[in-house]
Structure 1
């Protein structure tokens, strides 16, 4: 039996509040969602399907292929279940594997102990069946076994991803308090941007939002920037299938005539780093970078799209008194310069957001790290509402 062609439950995880955008991505790839939850979705498929998922998803963290569920009230129950898995048919005899876990069980006060029981069972199985054993360690550079254990429910997985997919791999210089790439993608997917009109990103920092916008607009997938996944270290891996999926990534890239993505920052260093990250992502020619105060950012009068800003919000960066003035200036800028656009402000400080002085049409919930955040959407009218009503014969 080859795990690469055998169908089983697949759990695709993501950071909290990204699940609706991950769910739509998975559906767009042709998969049927069997269950959606706060931090992911569940489907059925093969590890060959996991290859496609790993290479294509913007919002995911891990793609987990189930080896089976079981009841466990004690670490010995975990050990005994893992010991009876045919690891000699899954892992390379002289390979390398790691163990990760998500454990909430009263018998465990350190998840490393659960990891150790899983590792011991795999090693003991190899010694029993082969007389030798693979190497193990904490670096996620080889095969990865994942244990989920909550109360008495446990499930064992092959983590086909390894390092988190939420980091897309192009960002070499992260800058100060950078936005996670998967979060940046999700906020863009949550917006009303049509992927062809202007995308204006002041305070761009290391360029993550502008780069993700360019990638999404051109259908350039995260798999373009990575060449090692955990599925490559499972017995039966066929590199031809992987190369075929990689070829599809190149084939599905599209050109967007007239696309303008403008990214600015007052810091020369930030813009220099953002340019380097954009070069690594292959989208430097699609982004117009400039060093300036955000209020001096060009806002094209044609092909109006979205104004998207991620200002400091005082938790990790920024002086609150200065930030109150900054948020007020953002509101003034949107009112005076961004008519006809949709405005988006991503912030973790709703008190500061009140200084914008505009009523948000939508308040979309996100997290960054452990900070409760909102993506605030503003519909920015050209002229006043009264003028628009007159034009439409409503006043």
Structure 2
């Protein structure tokens, strides 16, 4: 950094006072320095040069009046009428953005505490040295699978830098690549996360979102802050019961006693996250001869069987149509497997 030069001229007048001139013009003006913070202006940098003049040719001594700001500088006299100003402490605009210092000049004849003064204002300019930091946010969301597209939540990140360095724009990533289900919009410094597509618990029940807060730096490095949000899809009752693997054909002797167990039917709630109880019933195919336990799904005989009975549909076989119905906890909401035509027909050969 090229340091400017400030000429301070001092001489005795008839009243024994010092008159200070700035660049040859009478009157005291303020020196203003603008320095970049951090590594842009490292500690020890030469930031300014001072030069004084004394008509008597006395050796001049430069210094600074002791204030809370004065230790930011280090002044070293060089020669009889010059001094260098060095940066003595690291600059950080986010901690302090300006320093007001009073420089002093004396020929050591005025007596202790008497000197000519010159004000110096040091302004600290920002660099992009801070990452956006998210304010506390909701890190886990539970969203019903039948939710309509709309706003889910809002996040906000702040950046201590100023100007474009301190302005934030938001981006969204889904860790498994489903980037079209959710979106984010930057509005008034906040990121609004929206659901843009329909959810299906049975297809995917968990989404891991990464929110990126990126500053608007138009040159140099760009800083980014991240936030993680877990979206849990809550199952709703929208899927009929599903029959477990069952042998569709079974055999029983025609002389089997009443109450004999033929087989057990099993079905489970089609909504994996709910697991409502299942109610079993026989819709057709011999409900007068066969019964089913509505809770366990055990099929049994209600009467003695006769293979030659004319009611046999084909060669002593009965085709039973069994329905599994989900007993919902929601009032008036029932789902049956046969509504979907899912594995509801089972044939049972009563024996030849």
Shorter-normalised TM-score: what interval? under 0.3
TM-score, L = length of structure 2: 0.21
TM-score, L = length of structure 1: 0.19
Which is strand-richer, 1 or 2? 2
The structure whose Rg is larger is 2
Which is helix-richer, 1 or 2? 1
Structure with greater contact order relative to length (CA < 8 Å, sep ≥ 6): 1
